[in-house]
């Protein structure tokens, strides 16, 4: 029997919306009890948190681990170490690998590698169509049996609405969650920036924010037709928010996420063609960024994800238009999110509601909560410690982060998975 008591902790409870001093007792991998004031006499290891924050471990939907096919960019071992160092206790992996995770055999290979190498929980998603090509749906039932927690073609938008509607219908019959990337693919093809004055001055191929709205409108219409469970991976523009609000008000089974980069950066950060700031969809205007932050605060946008996308130096050290999209974010996720806390835009329970509780609920997990019976997946962090980020100190194999050299505030002190210490800051 393993028993751990966290004392003198600032408990961040996203379910009750509270931020208060107290204690927490975990035993055999689960939370047994918690409360305010001094901890009762309990037999077990005692960890004095010294007034630092103790919160549910982050559940990160949409992490790319490049096995199989591109292990030089990121492996399950390096991604797991990066996640533990970032307070992420569950990573939900994308199927956009080489080859795509579209068969039970490929899924089982990835699961075995994850179980052998990663110190955190790893839950795989599978492709919705074979090869993510949008022509023929995968064996959703078999993939579910093999452990797939959701189905997505990632940033490959299914253009054939008949194929997509059939996949949604079949997913509903299996009780499966479909995650989609709302974009109108014709308008967004080849875009490297968001249309506007900045993109025009830089001479960058750009896409209108309406492309996101149009993609979401189409998907909502298909949801009305099929009744499937649907999650929009990234809502990044103010134009898409009214459609999302109507869909929720009309009772559709829809949730939405956004990325930490779209919450903390805007199009001007690209500056002189800095390719580490090239993500998909492209960074938006400051007005869009503020609208999305407000949508997270009100709960219209349910989930914040890192959208961790490793890219090697060769794919980033190119002209902006030709450079690969994406940024690593497992280790920078929490300190970047704390920018919103320090700016007074989101409190800590609201942040962890979007980073831990809501993603866990959407996937039907027991984690993401600070309640008796929940897994003791926890992160201990100091929200106030300042530091300058050095990308070469990151544990990811790829170091393509837009936060390199930036002053940040907030560091993970320790991460626990099922009550076991998987990371401790030295």
First to last CA, the chain: 27
3-state secondary structure of 55: strand
Q: Where are the alpha helices (DSSP H) in 266-391?
A: 286-298, 313-316, 333-342, 348-352, 358-362
Where residue 318 falls among pLDDT bands split at 50, 70, 90? Answer: very high
Residue 171 has pLDDT above 90, yes or no: yes
Give pLDDT tens digits for 250-274: 999 999 999 999 999 999 999 989 9
Q: Which two tokens stand for residue 83?
A: 């996640």
Res. 38 pLDDT band, cuts 50 70 90: confident
Instruction: Give the mean pLDDT of 393-421.
Output: 96
Give the pLDDT confidence of 225-248 residue by residue, as tens digits. Answer: 999 999 999 999 999 999 999 999
Q: Tell me the pLDDT band of 218, cut-offs 50, 70 and 90.
A: very high
Within 10 angstroms of residue 351's Cβ, the number of other Cβ atoms is 24
pLDDT band at 99 (very low <50, low <70, confident <90, very high): very high
Cα four-point dihedral sign 190, 193, 194, 196 = negative
| pLDDT tens readout for residues 132-164 | 999 999 999 999 999 999 999 999 999 999 999
What is residue 1's predicted lDDT score, i.e. its pLDDT?
53
pLDDT band with cut points at 50, 70 and 90 for residue 24: very high
pLDDT for 192 equals 94
Whether the predicted pLDDT of 276 surpasses 60? yes
The CA distance from 150 to 363, in Å, is 8
Quick: pLDDT tens for 40-56: 888 889 999 999 999 99
Q: Which of 419, 416, 361, 360 is nearest to 30 (CA)?
A: 419
* pLDDT number for residue 20: 96
Q: Residue 373: how many CB atoms within 10 A of its CB?
A: 9
Residue-level pLDDT at 426: 80
- Dmax over CA atoms of the chain, in Å, equals 66
pLDDT at 2: 85
From the list 214, 383, 378, 359, the residue with the least C-alpha distance to 296 is 359
Residues in the chain: 426
- Return mean pLDDT, the chain: 96
Among residues of the chain, what percentage have pLDDT more than 90? 96
Mean pLDDT of 28-44: 90
Span 2-8, mean pLDDT? 94
| Contact between residue 304 and residue 339 where contact means Cβ atoms under 8 Å apart | no
pLDDT digits (tens, 9 = 90+) for 330-388: 999 999 999 999 999 999 999 999 999 999 999 999 999 999 999 999 999 999 999 99
Model confidence at 280, in pLDDT bands (50, 70, 90)?
very high
pLDDT at 37: 84
Q: What percent of the chain has pLDDT over 70?
A: 100
Closest to 25 measured CA to CA, from 58, 52, 2, 57: 2
Per-residue pLDDT at 10 exceeds 70? yes
């Amino acid at each position: 029997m393993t028993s751990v008591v966290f004392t003198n902790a600032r408990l961040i409870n996203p379910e009750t919306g509270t931020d208060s001093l107290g204690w927490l007792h975990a035993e055999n991998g689960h939370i047994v009890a918690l409360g305010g004031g001094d901890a009762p006499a309990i037999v077990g290891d005692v960890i004095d948190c010294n007034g630092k924050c103790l919160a549910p471990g982050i559940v990160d939907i949409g992490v790319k681990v490049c096995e199989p096919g591109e292990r030089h960019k990121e492996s399950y071992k390096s991604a797991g170490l990066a996640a533990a160092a970032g307070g992420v206790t569950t990573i939900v992996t994308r199927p956009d690998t080489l080859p795509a995770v579209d068969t039970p055999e490929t899924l089982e290979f990835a699961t075995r590698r994850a179980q052998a190498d990663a110190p955190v929980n790893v839950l795989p998603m599978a492709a919705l169509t074979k090869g993510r090509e949008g022509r023929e749906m995968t064996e959703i039932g078999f993939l579910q049996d093999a452990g797939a927690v959701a189905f997505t073609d990632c940033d490959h938008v299914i253009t054939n609405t008949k194929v997509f509607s059939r996949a949604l219908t079949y997913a509903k019959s299996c009780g499966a969650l479909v995650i989609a990337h709302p974009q109108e693919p014709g308008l967004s093809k080849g875009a490297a920036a968001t249309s506007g004055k900045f993109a025009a001055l830089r001479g960058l191929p750009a896409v209108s924010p309406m492309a996101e709205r149009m993609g979401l409108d189409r998907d909502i219409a298909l949801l009305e037709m099929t009744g499937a469970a649907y999650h929009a991976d990234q809502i990044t523009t103010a134009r898409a928010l009214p459609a999302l609000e109507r869909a929720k008000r009309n009772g559709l089974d829809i949730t939405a996420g956004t990325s930490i980069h779209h919450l903390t950066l805007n199009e001007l950060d690209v500056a002189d063609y800095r390719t580490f700031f090239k993500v998909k969809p492209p960074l938006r205007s400051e007005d869009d960024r503020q609208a999305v932050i407000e949508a997270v605060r009100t709960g219209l946008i349910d989930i914040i994800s890192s959208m961790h996308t490793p890219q090697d130096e060769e794919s980033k050290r190119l002209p902006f238009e030709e450079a690969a999209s994406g940024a690593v974010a497992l280790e920078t996720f929490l300190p970047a999110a704390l920018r919103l806390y320090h700016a007074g835009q989101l409190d800590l329970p609201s942040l962890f509601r979007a980073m831990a509780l809501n993603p866990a609920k959407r996937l039907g997990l027991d984690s993401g909560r600070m309640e008796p019976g929940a897994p003791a997946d926890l992160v201990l962090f100091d929200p106030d410690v300042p530091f300058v980020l050095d990308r070469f100190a990151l544990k990811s194999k790829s170091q393509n982060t837009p936060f390199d050299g930036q002053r940040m505030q907030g560091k993970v002190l320790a991460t626990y998975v099922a009550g076991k210490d998987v990371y401790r800051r030295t």
